[in-house]
């Protein structure tokens, strides 16, 4: 894609290697699953070290209460990658409190509107010149200049990638 997941992972990595004002920084990635209330609760259970004996005998609402009690006294950053639609974070037990931040990536702009986002950042494909520069950076000039046909073919391949950094 255009690099939303990479940006979120870099943000998570930056938080893990720098001083910040959060008690917890929690990244929830979709991988192959769609992020939903259960996915968020499972990741929060693990990151908050909620014991199985406390967790296993609770339903979704009871788990939400457990998470809420543990997070409501902390400043946290919750990073949600690749939301496919709006999620009611209160159902997962995530408190919306002053000082905590929720950052998410999505291709669904409606999800941003429904979830009451405060700021939106649109991540677009690279412009053709930027895409070509990234391609050259990845392939290296000595490879591109090895044979005169390679450069023309490389330009065609870079164009076919449509400015998507992952494809380049």
Domain that holds residue 146: 128-160
Q: In this predicted model, what pLDDT tens digit does every residue of 59-99 receive, in sequence order?
A: 999 999 999 999 998 889 999 998 888 888 999 999 977 67
d(CA 135, CA 86): 35
In a domain, residue 122? The reply is: no
pTM: 0.76
d(CA 121, CA 45): 29
CB neighbourhood size of 111 (10 A): 17
In a domain, residue 70? The reply is: yes
Kind and range of the H or E element at 26? strand 24-28
CB burial of 64-81 (b: ≥16 within 10 Å; e: otherwise) equals: bebbbebbeeeebbbbbb
Between 37-47 and 60-71, two packed helices, what is the crossing angle to 10 degrees? 50
**Do 155 and 105 belong together in one domain?**
no
**Do 46 and 93 belong together in one domain?**
yes
Q: Report the Cα 84 to chain-centroid distance in Å.
A: 12
Specify the pLDDT at position 22: 86
Q: In this predicted model, what pLDDT tens digit does every residue of 110-127 receive, in sequence order?
A: 777 677 666 777 778 888
In a domain, residue 165? The reply is: no
Q: Give me the mean pLDDT over the 147-159 stretch.
A: 86
Specify the pLDDT at position 108: 77
Residue 132 predicted with pLDDT over 80:
yes
Specify the pLDDT at position 45: 95
In a domain, residue 123? The reply is: no
Q: How confident is the model at residue 139 (pLDDT cuts 50, 70, 90)?
A: confident
In a domain, residue 120? The reply is: no
**Do 85 and 14 belong together in one domain?**
yes
Q: How many domains does the chain have?
A: 2
In a domain, residue 87? The reply is: yes
In a domain, residue 166? The reply is: no
Q: In this predicted model, what pLDDT tens digit does every residue of 17-60 receive, in sequence order?
A: 778 888 889 999 877 678 889 999 999 999 999 999 999 999 99
């Amino acid at each position: 894609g255009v690099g939303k997941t990479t940006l979120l992972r870099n943000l998570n990595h930056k938080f893990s290697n720098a001083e910040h004002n959060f008690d917890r920084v929690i990244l929830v990635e979709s991988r192959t699953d769609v992020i939903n209330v259960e996915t968020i609760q499972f990741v929060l259970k693990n990151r908050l070290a909620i014991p199985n004996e406390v967790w296993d005998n609770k339903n979704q609402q009871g788990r939400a209460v457990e998470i809420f009690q543990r997070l409501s006294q902390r400043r946290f950053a919750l990073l949600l990658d690749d939301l496919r639609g709006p999620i009611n974070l209160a159902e997962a037990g995530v408190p919306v409190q002053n000082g905590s931040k929720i950052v998410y990536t999505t291709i669904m702009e409606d999800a941003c509107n429904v979830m009451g986002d405060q700021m939106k950042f649109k991540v677009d494909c690279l412009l053709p010149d930027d895409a070509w520069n990234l391609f050259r950076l990845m392939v290296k000039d000595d490879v591109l200049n090895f044979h005169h046909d390679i450069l023309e073919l490389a330009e065609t391949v870079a164009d076919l990638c449509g400015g998507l950094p992952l494809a380049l």
